[in-house]
């Protein structure tokens, strides 16, 4: 194997787009945060509704 092939492989590996390994973690975190805020909004709405109703 010539040295030129080694450098070609290194250059090709550096120019390839990287895999985003944090994508599933970010998707899960955003989903969890959305559910948390939705639950908080619903809870506050029910709480205010019950307070107004008496």
Domain ranges in the chain are: 21-54
User: Is this structure's pTM higher than 0.85?
Assistant: no
* Span 42-47, average pLDDT: 96
- 46 has a pLDDT exceeding 90: yes
Average pLDDT value over all residues in the chain: 85
What confidence tier does 31 reach under pLDDT thresholds 50, 70, 90? very high
pLDDT at site 12? 75
Give dist(CA 22, CA 10) in Å, integer: 24
């Amino acid at each position: 194997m010539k040295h030129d092939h080694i450098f070609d492989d290194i250059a090709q590996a550096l120019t390839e787009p990287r895999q985003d390994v944090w994508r599933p973690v970010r998707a899960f975190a955003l989903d969890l945060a959305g559910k948390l805020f939705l639950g908080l909004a619903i809870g506050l709405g029910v709480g205010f509704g019950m307070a107004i109703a008496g």
